Structure 1
Amino acid sequence: MKRKVSLVIKTAVFLVMLAAVLLAVMVVTERKTSYMKNKSFFEEAKKDHLDVLFIGSSHVINGINPIDLYEDYGITSYNLGGHGSLLKESYWQLIRALDYCKPKYVVVDCFMMDRNYEYVDEMYEETPEEFRQAAISQLHLNMDAYPLSKLKIAAVKDLVHDPKIQYQYLFDFIVYHNRWSELEQKDFQKLSGDGEYNMLMGAEMKHELEWNTNDMTEYNPEERLPEHTVCEEYLMKIIDECQRDGIGIVLTYLPFSAEVQDIQSANSAADIAATYGVPYINMLNMDGIIDPMTDLADPGHLSSTGAKKVTDYIGGWLSENANLIDHRGDEAYSNWDKLGKSYNKEVRSLSIRQRLLTTQLNMLTLGKTSAIVYVNEDSPALQDPWFVHLISNLTGTEKVYEASRNHQQYFMLIDRATGNVYEAADYEQLENMSTAMGEMTYIPVEKRFRLLYLTSDEDTNFLYDDEHLKDDVQIMTYDNENGEILSHIYCESSHSYEIDE
């Protein structure tokens, strides 16, 4: 009898250990992107800290920054957007999220409302296979973090047609068990609960710029989708759900380089908003929200500076219309303050040094550091419309265009402590400039020799270096408060503005 009891105990212990090992293997091999993106959602939802939810595609992930929204307006929110997410996917993302929290408002972006197919694993008959596989992969971002439940099963069956593909969302070990060769330290950190996670409450910022050379499609307010689509149907389901639950809802169409079908979608979304009596913010049809030359990371997605502007606009609308509580200063929300400091530190770092000079110039518009820019009179940069526009966008003046037209040297100093902007073209001099570094003087002497010095120290010339005579662009950054020099970068603009490490 004792032997049987011992055998039962040993068997039970073995099975428990085996289960623990299998669970650990599943946790380690699982792709962490969904966990990283949604970890803070579950934590903040549990605390009832989320007043607003943003849903939509990558336009939302890259276009709305909850940390900026909190810092500027005190509104707490989460970005539940998914790469490639159709409105059908957004509907299920919202339904699952409502299992964890009840926000005051939901903001849903209507991009891709023209898509008219039932399943992400089938799409249209003529859809290339690589697009279909990309959609299958992207769906994991919104699915994997949620535990198996009847609701998740219903979502998967509604979104995916092939039962074999359905299984990979319900039991993701099927697709991740062979990731051994890809494993990194972060894969093991999840076992202890110390894994990396998204620190922007679900958002992902794109900092590097791509100059949009596409002609912007003229906006025609009369255009409409030629047929009622699946995505239109699910947008109406989202509205129905929010109105039934007493949740405020706002529809948006975030700005980007739109094509005809996007304009059709935006106008059809306006019709749906009017039918249901819900607010609609169509930024495709609004001038002055973004600058396409500085605020698009690529034709389809906002840069971090574009996201700042869009977030500010939506924050202003919510503050005026949604009657939300300003949580700034509330100790219960101290984690949001910490995340804000962390993001500001990242932006400051990107303002000090970036891989591309063009990106760094754009990041300087966010004001985390002060800057000095000097460009030689024969510099190709001054004949580059994009570069000249970036400088003008930074200073808020058109002085650089004067230097560009006349092939003159150009100097700029923007001091955040005083709010002063100083500029000079050709052989203009600037004396006693007030800066956080102290009073400064700029004197151009000849083509490749100019002086920039503290008025109290004429012997130290900040704009001359024998080793960098070939570099036609210089940029210095310094601390807004104490004037400490943070970086001094030399760049040869003919090399695509790449900065040497």
Structure 2
Amino acid sequence: MLRISMENESFVKSRNKNITGIQKEPKNTIDALILGDSLSYSAFSPMQLWEQQGITAYVCGQSGQKLQEAYYTLLTAIKSQTPKIVILETNMIFRDQKVVSSLQTTIIEEGSYRIPLFRYHDIWKPLLIGATYGEEMYKGFSLREAVVPYTKGEYMKKSTDKKEISEGVQYYMGKIIDLCKEKNIELLLAATPSPKNYNYRTHNALLNYADERGLKYLEMNLLQQKIGIDWNTDSLDKGDHLNLSGATKVTEYLGNYLRTNYKLSDHRKEAGYESWEKTGKEYSEKIKEKLR
């Protein structure tokens, strides 16, 4: 008989709660669906997008999310939602995956998509995949105020080198692209500011990948000045993730970008979105207090 620690069981439930959460949202109310690893839920705040643009968004990111998981997460989400756009935070495109690890993840995700019991009764998953603890989320966004500056200087130094994108990743990216086309969903590749995870090699790879497939690609690591990123105040953990201050700047930029480049409805004051109005006001007051 297998014995699983309460730690591992709690981790898996926490890691999957964004996927559970999106299914609890009222049907066909989410216009922007965000996929990715921990960079996604550290950088994009749905309630800020709502307050500033009236866009309804949900972050379905997971700690260490892989492309296989992102694909099956998208399949799950579109059972109850009809997003106009999927925003894919690109760090998971470079996630190092061994063949065995990819197979394990694929089996788990395909099984959990077809048989929901597997996703919600997750006792056996930690045996196959290493676990770390998840975080508290707010419509998928992780609100974290800590500041540990990044101090190593410029990291986007021009180069002609390209980082490799593995065949397994390309396969599942292809499935995500095809699914978005089938469902008439726009797909945006977005690289959020992160000195630990991005450089010019990743930029060249993403630019080439997007160009070859006709995808839009937003490289925020090359827009730090325009966004207003200050690594003395906006880093949670030495340049890996953004904290609340950094996420607020990135989300404001993203909101303006979405409003300019896509036809997304402003649902503020619309009937049926009263809970967004109420929660948005509460969220704004909370953020003002925390960022004083």
TM-score normalised per structure 2: 0.80
What stretches of structure 2 of length at least 5 have no aligned partner?
Answer: 1-7, 127-134
Per-residue deviation, 1:265: 2.5
| Residues in 1 aligned to 2:81 and 2:147: alpha-carbon distance in whole angstroms | 36
Contact map agreement 1:236 1:272 (CA 8 A) in 2: no
Gap change, CA 1:226 and 1:122, over 3 Å in 2:
closer
Select the residue among 142, 152, 159 that pairs with 1:214: 152
Counting aligned pairs with the same residue, the percent is: 27
Q: Name 2:233's counterpart in structure 1.
A: 294
Contact map agreement 1:50 1:103 (CA 8 A) in 2: yes
The CA deviation string for residues 221-261 of structure 1, in whole angstroms up to 9 with x for no partner, is 522124644223322321222112211111111111145x7
Q: Name 1:42's counterpart in structure 2.
A: 23
Select the residue among 189, 192, 202 that pairs with 1:254: 192
Gap change, CA 1:273 and 1:226, over 3 Å in 2:
closer
| Residues in 1 aligned to 2:265 and 2:247: alpha-carbon distance in whole angstroms | 22
Q: What does residue range 122-161 of structure 1 map to in structure 2 within 5 Å?
A: 122=101, 150=114
| Residues in 1 aligned to 2:65 and 2:216: alpha-carbon distance in whole angstroms | 22
AA partner of residue 206 (structure 2): A
Q: Secondary structure at the match of 1:332?
A: coil
Rg (Cα) greater in structure: 1
Q: Secondary structure at the match of 2:284?
A: helix
Q: Secondary structure at the match of 2:94?
A: coil
Q: What does residue range 10-409 of structure 1 map to in structure 2 within 5 Å?
A: 31=10, 32-34=13-15, 36-44=17-25, 46-117=26-97, 122=101, 150=114, 171-173=121-123, 200-226=138-164, 228-258=166-196, 262-288=199-225, 289=227, 290-298=229-237, 299-350=239-290, 363-364=291-292
Per-residue deviation, 1:301: 0.3
The CA deviation string for residues 17-41 of structure 1, in whole angstroms up to 9 with x for no partner, is xxxxxxxxxxxx9635257534542
TM-score normalised per structure 1: 0.48
Greater relative contact order (Cα < 8 A, sep 6+): 2
Gap change, CA 1:75 and 1:218, over 3 Å in 2:
closer
By percentage of residues, which structure has more strand? 1
Contact map agreement 1:87 1:110 (CA 8 A) in 2: no
Q: Secondary structure at the match of 1:113?
A: helix
| Residues in 2 aligned to 1:47 and 1:72: alpha-carbon distance in whole angstroms | 23
| Residues in 2 aligned to 1:262 and 1:92: alpha-carbon distance in whole angstroms | 28
Q: Secondary structure at the match of 1:204?
A: coil
| Residues in 2 aligned to 1:286 and 1:349: alpha-carbon distance in whole angstroms | 27
| Residues in 2 aligned to 1:199 and 1:227: alpha-carbon distance in whole angstroms | 30
Q: Secondary structure at the match of 1:296?
A: coil
Q: Secondary structure at the match of 2:91?
A: coil
Contact map agreement 1:114 1:262 (CA 8 A) in 2: no
Contact map agreement 1:258 1:284 (CA 8 A) in 2: no
AA partner of residue 41 (structure 1): I
Contact map agreement 2:91 2:191 (CA 8 A) in 1: yes
AA partner of residue 268 (structure 1): A
Per-residue deviation, 1:53: 0.2
Contact map agreement 1:37 1:198 (CA 8 A) in 2: no
| Residues in 1 aligned to 2:233 and 2:27: alpha-carbon distance in whole angstroms | 38
Q: Secondary structure at the match of 1:252?
A: strand
Per-residue deviation, 1:294: 1.4
| Residues in 2 aligned to 1:30 and 1:226: alpha-carbon distance in whole angstroms | 34
| Residues in 2 aligned to 1:231 and 1:239: alpha-carbon distance in whole angstroms | 12
| Residues in 1 aligned to 2:168 and 2:112: alpha-carbon distance in whole angstroms | 26
| Residues in 1 aligned to 2:173 and 2:113: alpha-carbon distance in whole angstroms | 24
Per-residue deviation, 1:118: 5.0
| Residues in 2 aligned to 1:334 and 1:38: alpha-carbon distance in whole angstroms | 23
Equivalent pairs counted in the alignment come to: 270
The CA deviation string for residues 283-338 of structure 1, in whole angstroms up to 9 with x for no partner, is 12224121212111111101111111111111111111211110011131111122
| Residues in 1 aligned to 2:188 and 2:165: alpha-carbon distance in whole angstroms | 24
Q: Secondary structure at the match of 2:247?
A: helix
